[in-house]
């Protein structure tokens, strides 16, 4: 089974195809680069407004790190197109495997964030031969996604706690949902001194505290 076949199964892209895969020489770690090409009939998507537009030019090839396969570092290599968007002007296109200027693929960010639930961030970085910052950014991405998509409706019971987490009377106010079958952290805020616990108004309404 070829690598392209595996990638087409686990990471398919509607408007892009995988090209040649090659070994990268002169690296400490086994590394493979996989070319990614836009389909000939595909129009680039503006990263500003999300609409397709005419191509303007093409930037030099850029590498995006994918989930390692059998301990082998895998990078997608793609020459980003710029879009002559009638609304936003000339912008770099949006691609489905990464966001903004991040050099990690979105799949790899979720992979690292998943492991960070079981190991320390430094242990995750060491195990997958990346760096602490990439793990941190991946966890931050996962948390941001969760906050944007969480549902605060139907909360019937909440618990509030305050813990000291640093020296110098620094505290965290924590709000939990504490119902059978649904226990989760809803909100946290750092304060510099012990103070009366203040529950966010939105959570108080959800729990019927008002």
What's the pLDDT tens digit per position in 102-134? Answer: 999 999 999 999 999 999 999 999 999 999 999
Pairwise CA distance, residues 206 & 176, whole Å: 12
DSSP state of 44: P
Give the C-alpha separation, 43 to 45, whole Å.
7
Instruction: Give me the pLDDT at residue 184, please.
Output: 86
> Exposed, middle or buried, 149 (CB in 10 Å: 0-12/13-18/19+)?
exposed
Cα–Cα distance, 42 to 13 (Å, whole number)? 12
Phi, psi for 168 (deg, rounded to 5): 85, 30
Express each pLDDT in 149-188 by its tens digit. Answer: 888 888 889 998 888 877 777 788 888 999 988 888 888 8
* Across 1-7, average pLDDT: 85
- pLDDT of amino acid 187: 82
The ranges assigned to domains in the chain are 3-148, 158-206
Q: How far apart are CA 21 and CA 76, in angstroms?
A: 9
Q: How far is CA 138 from CA 75, 105, 124, 173, in A?
A: 17, 10, 11, 24
């Amino acid at each position: 089974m070829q690598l392209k076949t595996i990638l087409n199964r686990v990471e398919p892209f509607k408007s892009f195809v995988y090209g040649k895969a090659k070994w990268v020489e002169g690296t400490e770690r086994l590394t493979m680069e996989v070319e990614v090409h836009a389909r000939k009939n595909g129009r680039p998507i503006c990263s500003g407004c999300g609409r397709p537009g005419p191509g303007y030019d093409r930037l030099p090839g850029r590498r995006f790190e994918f989930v390692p396969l059998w301990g082998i570092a895998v990078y997608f290599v793609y020459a980003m197109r710029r879009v002559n968007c009638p609304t936003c002007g000339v912008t770099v296109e949006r691609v489905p495997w990464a966001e903004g200027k991040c050099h990690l693929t979105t799949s790899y960010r979720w992979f690292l964030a998943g492991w960070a639930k079981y190991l320390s961030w430094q242990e995750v970085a060491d195990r997958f031969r990346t760096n602490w910052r990439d793990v941190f950014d991946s966890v931050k991405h996962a948390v941001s996604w969760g906050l944007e998509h969480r549902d605060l409706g139907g909360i019937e019971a909440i618990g509030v706690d305050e813990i000291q987490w640093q020296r110098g009377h620094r505290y965290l106010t924590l709000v939990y949902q504490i119902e059978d079958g649904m226990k989760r952290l809803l909100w946290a805020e750092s304060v510099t001194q012990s103070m009366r616990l203040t529950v966010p108004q939105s959570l108080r309404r959800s729990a019927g505290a008002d």
